[in-house]
Amino acid sequence: MREILGRRRRLLSQRNDGRPELIGAALTFATQWQWPVLPGATADPQGRSRCGCPDADCTVPGAHPFDPGLLAATTDARMVRWWWTNRPAAPIVLATGGVAPCAVSLPALAAAHTLTALDRLGMRLGPVVASPSRWAILVRPYSMEQLGELLYAKDFVPGSLRFHGEGGYLALPPSETGEGEIRWERAPLPGSASPWVPDVEAVVDAAVEALTRTGVSAPEL
């Protein structure tokens, strides 16, 4: 009996070696804000810049779904708690679109210029998610038809602009991925209900202008 109890304590200790704030954040997203989430592919322990998924050339190490797949994203508290109890260091991945926000992401430097431009216009912004290389501005859900019409009206759309819509995903704070820490550049108001987010049109207009002005037009390799 003593041996069994000792083993159980060791297992619990191993589980607690993760990031306890992750499960709290995941539960807030899922249950309070009704954003469907799931655990991401954890970075390879042998090299944080590599992903734990089978793709040796993964471009977003640790910042994408793998097992389970994206369709498993849920707002169910019991499932979320079970996932992060068993995988306490797993990144939190948001399934964008539908009932959850979508996002427009761009390289970090151009994103800073975009936020400055939107502030100058007096435009209200919601949360902004930042990784070491890219920032994502959360926007209201949009359809592919709406996005297509918006982009078609542009003379030029920089290749470094990315869209996280229906069927897409985005790693959320306070995840740790192969690239580094995911944080809030602009955090939601503490204790708020589901955060307010702007329409996609104004964000895309400012992002295209900022990317064109800074010359960050080609997609990163």
138-192 pLDDT, tens per residue? 999 999 999 999 999 988 888 888 999 999 999 999 998 888 899 999 999 876 6
Contact at 8 Å (CB) between 83 and 197?
Answer: no
pTM for this entry: 0.83
| Closest listed residue to residue 62, CA positions, set 136, 132, 161 | 132
Q: How is residue 31 annotated by DSSP?
A: I
22-64 pLDDT, tens per residue? 999 999 999 999 999 999 987 655 555 677 777 877 877 778 8
Q: Helix H segments across 87-157?
A: 108-120, 144-152
pLDDT for the residue numbered 16: 41
pLDDT for the residue numbered 192: 66
69-98 pLDDT, tens per residue? 899 999 999 999 999 999 998 999 999 999
**pLDDT: is 34 or 118 the higher one?**
34
pLDDT for the residue numbered 220: 46
**pLDDT: is 8 or 176 the higher one?**
176
User: What size, in residues, is the chain?
Assistant: 221
Report the distance separating Cα 200 and Cα 138, nearest Å.
9
pLDDT for the residue numbered 43: 64
**Structure tokens of 31?**
């249950």
Q: Which residues pair with 104 in a beta bridge?
A: 137, 163
Residue 15 has pLDDT above 70, yes or no: no
Report the distance separating Cα 113 and Cα 109, nearest Å.
7
CA-to-CA separations, 97 to 56, 57, 82, in angstroms, rounded? 28, 27, 24
